[in-house]
């Protein structure tokens, strides 16, 4: 008997509580920066695209919704000719972001991606690329990698010695 | 047999092997770098460290290198031991110190032995923070890319290139920790086997440039078990594709043919499949004389009336097409109207080769067996240019003497450096009677530069010396007799002598002489072997199918017995003189061509049907030892491009001739029923309905990516997976993949922890470097005949006066690879070659133009001096880089 009264009392008290429901979309909830929403392709601090088309995101993707085709510019720099994400298949697991060795692919707190036509959920590289560095300022893969690409010669990367002169016998 | 213990488990092993090979064969994951099943041990990288114990009571043990430790009886070892595994982790950390942060932009990534080994040892974080050593790269030509920073100095490349393939232009340069693996200057490698560096290098220093041009990772490839179509040896390949583009050719291990290595023509010659100018629609010659695309149904309807109105059909098959395609054409035109598609001399030589092979069917060594032959006599073949992979095997054959000396000195066979030091410059005998200098001369004991008929004469003389019952050629000079005696003695005293002959010179006499030598050897030797090379991938199969060559076909057209010519995957201008082909095409009312590449014949055709190349069709090829091998479709091309035999089936149905082949199985049954000489091709690979645990076999690795996005731009709904009606393979990553899958259906090599092609295959072999589990694929069609053949009369028909002889080149002489862009960059200039005396007699200097009339047609090319040519002979470059359709050898009057 007592427990029944207690339950009724508790239910009554809920009427005066602060409401959890927000008036979306007028009022937007706070989502932390590491929230796993819409995927973007970021640029390095020099403004060039970060993606090197290594295909690690596409192989990490459990639903196989990322397709990348590698191309190479005249300076030897790898870049994606095609970068396509089929968001109608994406499960926003973030494995692609974890796999990315260049911090190019990042998940953002944007989740408002509803479409009437499923075909519109297919995002190409131009739809994915943003103009900033996203969550990872400062990192530029090609400054660390050993390949000579566009303007950076052998031995000019971070922590690299000048190229060896094979003709010297000096120690 | 010896008994050893590894990690407490007991194994029966071969005591002449080293511990590393044994451990890998028994399924242990033991990391290694410098060791390779074909290059053996040098103990340089210190990666395969294990603990060795004195006996079972010993708990202390000592660290030894597995590759340098004999698997002797009573041995007690531990791989899992803490100290040993710590040691291995430290070694890889040293090796990785200067390794760049390149994996994402490295073509090797995903099939990298170094990646595998770092993971296997558990070295997943770099502690070193100092500066890394760097190197400048070299431009190594159109085949291979160089990225020297990635080198871990395992020395595998130079050991393969210099010690195994006998190349001389890849060196270790520099000193101490600055060593550099490269050439003295930029430029393509000289060796015809340089492509194997891509697979031998455990990391990304040497990578495939043709793959880099349209790169994707190994895990994204759609592969198929392939057979190389660029010469008659039938090396096994694994072509990889993605989205309908052929990306690369990789080696597919076959324990009796190519094992770990391919030649550069086979590896880089497939680019013709991706050419833009290929016919991909049915084409019909419009009224204005231009070939216009036509709808498939309209085309079949018009061909129906063409075939119905034809006064007679003539079918020309092709030695570069599969048995299936050729048989389907044979069925369409009738067996009596079918021709084997070879030029007259080539057909005669191929038939002679077939007869020779049949006579000695019990003594045909495989390409792998050639490596263990300890005396070789080559009659007429420039093997490096004609059947390249054989040259690599012969290079191993001459090193048998090293193994003999090493054994006498008690050196184990796997101790690579010691075996070489003991062997020094002592080689097993290799005698070559060839028209001119070859790329194999550096290992030859003695060279005889002779005309084709003289080569035959020498062969007959060798036979006569080996066995008195054999006929001696008349009027033989003393010099030839002396040479013959040297050769005969070497062959007689060898344990396993080998005779190599072939069809390259177009001379039946040379083959007959080889037959006599072989017959004579058999009378004195139990282990003699005969190796015959032919012109093209299916030359032997075509010789077995039909003995009528293109001349017979032209004759039928010119005599008005028939008026419609149907050509299957053949360029007639390669098979006969220009004028003769032109005349036949003009005489024919209709010329229908089924082909996958643009040819001069297509340019004259009235109707063109786009047939699938090796990448877009399944088929069976018969290689030079009579082994029927099946290759499988790599990807499905866009309709209406389809297999040649499917076009023939459509045409058969269009003219109301019922055919009941709807898939490969039906077709193969029909071939076996109608052509009993091909009985057995059915067993070359499992049938379409074959399943393991109810599953098909995957074409792609299990991590094939992007399935739901690849074509999402076209339609977001995923495509239905394609069903293969012609084989038991699946067009996806689904299916059974494991060490007990049938080897003929193994599209790629991968095993857990082993991603690189050459290491992963270990898990599919009965022992490392041995044979594939379940038996090496293919069926030998030639049956052993108990009858001992008689000696042929020794009549070499010597020719005096000027003679034109064919000269082949690995890049150019084979018509399909000659259309591959990478090969085209390496094609040589076309020259007539003759010796100094010859040039002087003709009043010509080097680079002057020589006009030569062969068979009534004039050919003009600049000349170059080759002092090795016999007097009054002119070397004629045969193939896309030189002349096509010339019939050689021929008497000429320059």
Domains of chain B (ranges plus CATH)?
2-96 (3.10.20.740), 348-534 (3.40.228.10), 803-891 (2.40.40.20)
Q: Pick A66's closest partner by Cβ from B135, B178, B706.
A: B706
* Shortest alpha-carbon distance between residue A65 and chain B (Å): 5
Under an 8 A CB cutoff, do A89 and B175 touch? no
Q: What is the pTM of this model?
A: 0.94
Distance CA B386, CA B251 (A): 19
- The CA distance from B738 to B740, in Å, is 5
Q: How far apart are CA B321 and CA B597, in angstroms?
A: 12
The verdict on residue A49 lying in a domain is yes
Say yes or no for a CB contact (<8 Å) between B136 and A163. Answer: yes
Show the tokens assigned to B137.
Answer: 């790269």
Q: Is B819 exposed, middle or buried (0-12, 13-18, 19+ CB in 10 A)?
A: buried
A105 located within any domain: yes
Domain contains A109: yes
On whether the CB atoms of residues B681 and B323 are closer than 8 A, the answer is yes
pLDDT digits (tens, 9 = 90+) for B442-488: 999 999 999 999 999 999 999 999 999 999 998 899 999 999 999 99
CA distance B779 to B678: 10
Burial B527-547 (b: 16+ CB within 10 A, else e): bbbbbbbbbbbbbbbbbbbbb
Residue B394 in tokens:
């012969």
Residue in B493, B429, B434, B422 with CA at minimum distance from that of residue B458: B434
- A104 interaction partners in chain B (CB closer than 8 Å): none
**pLDDT at position B572:** 96
B149 touches chain A (CB under 8 A): yes
Q: Is B712 an 8 Å CB contact of chain A?
A: yes
Strand order in B564-568's β-sheet?
A: B291-293, B283-285, B607-610, B590-595, B564-568, B313-316, B338-339
Q: Is B510 helix (H, G, I), strand (E, B) or coil?
A: helix
Q: How close B226 comes to chain A (CA, Å)?
A: 25
Residue B96 Cα, gap to closest chain A Cα (Å): 13
Q: What is the ipTM of this complex?
A: 0.90
Residue A156 maps to a domain: no
d(CA B663, CA B674): 17
The number of domains in chain A is: 1
Over residues B59-70, mean pLDDT? 94
Cα–Cα distance measured from residue B811 to residue B385, given in angstroms and rounded to the nearest whole number: 8
User: Where would I find the beta strands (DSSP E) of B58-170?
Assistant: 62-65, 76-78, 132-134, 144-146
User: Residue B793: how many CA atoms within 13 Å on its side-chain side?
Assistant: 3
Q: Domain holding A93: CATH number?
A: 3.30.70.3270
Identify the H or E element spanning B165. Answer: none
Partner residue facing B716 (CB), from A55, A122, A171: A122
A12 lies in some domain: no
Q: Which helix (H) or strand (E) holds B291?
A: strand B291-293
Question: How far is it, in rounded angstroms, from Cα B305 to Cα A124?
Answer: 49
Q: Is the pLDDT of residue A50 over 80?
A: yes
Q: What is the mean pLDDT of residues B711-739?
A: 93
From chain A, the residues in CB contact with B174 under 8 A are 164, 166-168
Q: Does A161 reside within a domain? A: no
Which residue's structure tokens are 């069917």?
B361
pLDDT digits (tens, 9 = 90+) for B622-639: 999 999 999 999 999 998
Using a CB-CB cut-off of 8 Å, the residues of chain B touching A68 are 706
More confident residue, B784 or B73: B73
- Provide, as residue numbers in chain A, all residues whose Cβ is less than 8 Å from the Cβ of B173: 166
Beta bridge partner(s), residue B630? B620
Q: Is residue A61 part of a domain?
A: yes
> For position B580, what pLDDT does the model report?
94
Neighbouring-strand partners of residue B101 = none
Longest dimension (CA), chain A: 98
Candidates A59, A84, A164; nearest CB to B709: A84
Q: What are the backbone angles phi and psi of residue B808, rounded to the nearest 5°?
A: -100, 160
DSSP string, B607-661: EEEEB--TTS--EEEE-TTSEEEEE---SPPPTT-B-HHHHHHHHHHHTT-----
Read off the pLDDT of residues B268-291 as tens digits, 9 standing for 90 and up.
Answer: 999 999 999 999 999 999 999 999
pLDDT for the residue numbered B174? 86
- Count Cβ atoms below 10 Å from residue B153 Cβ, excluding itself: 18
Inside any domain, residue A4: no
Tens-digit pLDDT profile for residues B554-610: 999 999 999 999 999 999 999 999 999 999 999 999 999 999 999 999 999 999 999
Query: B168: number of CA atoms within 13 Å, CB side?
Result: 4
B240 touches chain A (CB under 8 A): no
Mean pLDDT across chain B: 94
Range of the domain at A113: 31-144
Spatial CA neighbour of B115 closest among B152, B157, B162: B152
The answer to whether the CB of A27 falls within 8 A of the CB of A37 is: no
**Interface membership of B109 toward A (CB under 8 Å):** yes
The span from the CA of B209 to the CA of B194, in Å, is 12
Pairwise CA distance, residues B151 & B587, whole Å: 62
């Amino acid at each position: 008997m007592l427990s029944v009264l207690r339950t009724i009392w508790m239910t009554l008290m809920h009427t005066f509580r602060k409401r959890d429901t927000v008036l979306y979309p007028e009022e937007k909830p706070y989502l932390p920066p590491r929230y796993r929403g819409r995927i973007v392709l970021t640029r390095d601090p020099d403004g060039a695209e970060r993606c090197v088309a290594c295909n690690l995101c596409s192989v990490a993707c459990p639903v196989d919704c990322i397709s990348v085709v590698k191309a190479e510019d005249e300076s030897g720099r790898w870049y994606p000719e095609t970068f396509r994400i089929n968001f109608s298949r994406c499960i926003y697991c973030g494995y692609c972001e974890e796999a990315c060795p260049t911090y190019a692919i990042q998940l953002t707190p944007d989740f408002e991606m509803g479409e009437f036509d499923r075909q519109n959920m297919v995002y190409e590289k131009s739809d994915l690329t943003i103009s900033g560095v996203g969550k990872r300022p400062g990192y530029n893969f090609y400054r660390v990698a050993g390949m000579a690409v566009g303007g950076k010669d052998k031995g000019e990367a971070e922590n690299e010695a000048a190229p060896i002169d094979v003709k010297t016998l000096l120690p | 047999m010896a008994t050893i213990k590894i990690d407490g488990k007991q194994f029966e092993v071969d005591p002449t092997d080293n511990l590393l090979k044994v451990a890998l064969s028994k399924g242990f994951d033991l990391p290694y770098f410098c060791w390779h099943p074909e290059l053996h041990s040098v103990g340089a990288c210190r990666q395969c460290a294990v603990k060795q114990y004195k006996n079972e009571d010993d708990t202390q043990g000592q660290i030894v290198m597995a590759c340098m430790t004999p698997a002797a009886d009573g041995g007690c070892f531990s791989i899992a031991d803490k100290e040993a595994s710590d040691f291995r982790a430290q070694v890889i950390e040293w090796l990785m110190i200067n390794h760049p942060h390149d994996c994402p932009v490295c073509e090797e990534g995903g099939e990298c032995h170094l990646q595998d080994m770092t993971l296997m040892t558990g070295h997943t974080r770099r502690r070193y923070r100092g500066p890394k050593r760097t190197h400048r790269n070299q431009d190594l030509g159109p085949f291979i890319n160089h990225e020297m920073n990635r080198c871990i100095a395992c020395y595998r490349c130079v050991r393969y290139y210099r010690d195994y393939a006998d190349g001389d232009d890849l060196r270790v340069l520099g000193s101490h920790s600055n060593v550099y693996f490269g050439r003295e200057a930029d430029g393509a490698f000289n060796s015809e086997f340089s492509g194997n560096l891509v697979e031998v290098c455990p990391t990304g220093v040497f990578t495939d440039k043709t793959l880099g041009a349209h790169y994707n990772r190994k895990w994204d490839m759609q592969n198929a078990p392939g057979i190389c179509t660029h010469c008659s040896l039938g090396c096994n390949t694994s072509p990889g594709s993605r989205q309908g583009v052929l990306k690369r050719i990789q080696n597919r291990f076959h324990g009796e043919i190519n094992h770990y290595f391919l030649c550069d023509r086979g590896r880089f010659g497939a680019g013709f499949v991706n050419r833009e100018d290929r016919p991909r629609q049915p084409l019909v010659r419009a009224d204005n004389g231009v070939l216009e695309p036509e709808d498939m149904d309209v085309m079949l309807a018009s061909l129906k009336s063409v075939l119905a109105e034809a006064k007679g059909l003539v079918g020309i098959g092709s030695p570069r097409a599969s048995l299936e395609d050729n048989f389907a054409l044979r069925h369409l035109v009738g067996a009596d109207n079918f021709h084997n598609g070879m030029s007259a001399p080539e057909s005669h030589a191929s038939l002679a080769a077939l007869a020779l092979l049949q006579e000695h069917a019990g003594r045909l060594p495989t390409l792998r067996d050639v490596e263990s032959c300890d005396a070789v006599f080559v009659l007429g073949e420039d093997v490096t240019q004609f059947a390249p992979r054989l040259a690599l095997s012969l290079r191993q054959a001459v090193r048998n003497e090293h193994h003999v000396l090493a054994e006498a000195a008690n050196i184990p066979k796997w101790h690579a450096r010691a075996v070489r030091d003991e062997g020094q410059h002592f080689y097993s005998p290799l005698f070559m009677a060839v028209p001119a200098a070859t790329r194999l001369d550096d290992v030859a004991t003695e060279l005889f530069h002779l005309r084709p008929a003289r080569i035959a004469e020498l062969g007959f003389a060798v036979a006569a010396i080996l066995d008195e019952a054999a006929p001696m050629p008349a009027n033989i000079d003393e010099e030839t007799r002396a040479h013959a005696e040297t050769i005969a003695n070497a062959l007689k005293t060898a344990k396993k002598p080998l005779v190599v002959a072939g069809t390259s010179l177009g001379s039946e006499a040379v083959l007959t002489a080889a037959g006599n030598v072989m017959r004579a050897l058999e009378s004195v030797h139990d282990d003699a072997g005969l190796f015959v090379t032919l012109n093209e991938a299916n030359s032997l199969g075509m010789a077995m199918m039909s003995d009528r060559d293109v001349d017979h076909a032209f004759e039928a057209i010119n005599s008005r017995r028939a008026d419609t010519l149907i050509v299957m995957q053949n360029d007639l201008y390669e098979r006969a003189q220009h004028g003769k082909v032109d005349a036949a095409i003009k005489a024919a009312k209709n010329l229908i061509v089924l082909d996958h590449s643009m040819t001069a014949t297509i340019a004259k055709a009235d109707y063109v049907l786009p047939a699938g190349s090796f990448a877009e069709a399944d088929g069976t090829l018969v290689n030079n030892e009579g082994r029927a091998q099946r290759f499988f479709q790599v990807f499905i091309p866009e309709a209406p491009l389809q297999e040649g035999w499917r076009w023939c089936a459509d045409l058969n149905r269009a003219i109301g001739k019922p055919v009941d082949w709807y898939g490969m199985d039906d077709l193969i049954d029909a071939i076996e029923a109608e052509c009993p000489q091909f009985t057995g091709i059915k067993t070359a690979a499992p049938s379409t309905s074959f399943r393991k645990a109810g599953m098909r076999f995957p074409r792609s690795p299990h991590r094939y990516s992007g399935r739901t996005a690849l074509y999402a731009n076209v339609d977001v709904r995923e495509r239905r997976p394609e069903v293969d009606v012609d084989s038991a393979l699946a067009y996806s990553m689904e299916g059974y993949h494991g060490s007990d899958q049938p080897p003929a259906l193994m599209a790629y090599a991968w095993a857990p922890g082993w991603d690189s092609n050459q290491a992963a295959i270990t898990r599919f072999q009965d022992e490392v470097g041995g044979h594939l589990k379940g038996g090496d694929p293919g069926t030998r069609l030639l049956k052993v005949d108990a009858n001992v053949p008689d000696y042929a009369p020794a009549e070499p028909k010597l020719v005096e006066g000027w003679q034109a002889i064919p000269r082949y080149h690995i890049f150019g002489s084979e018509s399909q690879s000659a259309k591959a862009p990478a090969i085209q960059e390496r094609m040589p200039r076309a020259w007539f070659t003759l010796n100094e005396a010859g040039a002087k007699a003709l009043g010509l200097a080097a680079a002057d133009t020589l006009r030569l009339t062969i068979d009534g047609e004039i050919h003009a090319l600049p000349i170059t001096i080759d002092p090795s040519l016999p007097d009054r002979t002119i070397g004629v470059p045969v193939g896309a880089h030189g002349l096509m359709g010339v019939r050689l050898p021929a008497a000429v009057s320059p």
